[in-house]
Amino acid sequence: MTDSDALRAQASRTRVSVDQAAVVPGHGMDELQRLWTPWRLSYVRDPDAVAAGCPFCRLPGRGADHDAESLIVHRAASVFVILNAYPYNPGHLLVVPFRHTPDFGALTSEELHEMADLSQRSVRILRETSGAHAFNVGLNLGTTAGAGIADHVHQHVVPRWGGDTNFMPVIGKTRVLPELLAETYTRIAPAFARD
């Protein structure tokens, strides 16, 4: 029996206090399970990343000739689609306006409509190229809401499959991704060109 199994067994036999609830999965102040992603904190707080400037401005600013190495799979008039460098699942895309703004309310009608259109297109392409069963699509507006890059609005399109969550990220502090980013790029970028 692992330490984690022992902790769960003990928690199921005893009343768990509020102080202990934070460390016993499934025994919090509510019945929700928590998925902790501590490996992302180093990225969120990385001073070198801050010094390098906004990646959503810097990467497309390198020009279309560098899109493959920048992981940009599609460029439109006011918005681009890029693979998340820290994906939750293979094919995790970000739909991003070229214009730097942290304020969703400041997006122009063109930017807003193009983000919606490209998010819809991303879902269609990911379904075609990866056979995803479902999707999480959404915005994290501000650091408190979970945005890793809060100063530049972006929308996540995350493909999901039945059973795609497992113990590795939580217990092993390891995310299991069955495909390298370069392979994901090679699979998805041509689909945007055809679509």
Indicate the burial class of 177 (C-beta count within 10 angstroms; 0-12, 13-18, 19 or more). Answer: middle
Provide the CB-side half-sphere exposure for 42 (13 A, CA).
Answer: 3
The amino acid occupying position 120 is: Q
Q: Using an 8 Å Cβ cutoff, are 112 and 132 in contact?
A: no
Distances (CA, A) of 112 to 25, 73, 118, 119: 38, 19, 10, 11
83: enclosing H helix or E strand:
strand 79-83
Considering 27, 74, 152, 154, which one is annotated as catalytic?
A: 154
Residue 66 a catalytic site member: no
Diameter of the chain measured on Cα atoms: 60
> For residue 136, which phi and psi values (nearest 5 degrees)?
-105, 125
Question: Which amino acids are annotated catalytic?
Answer: 154
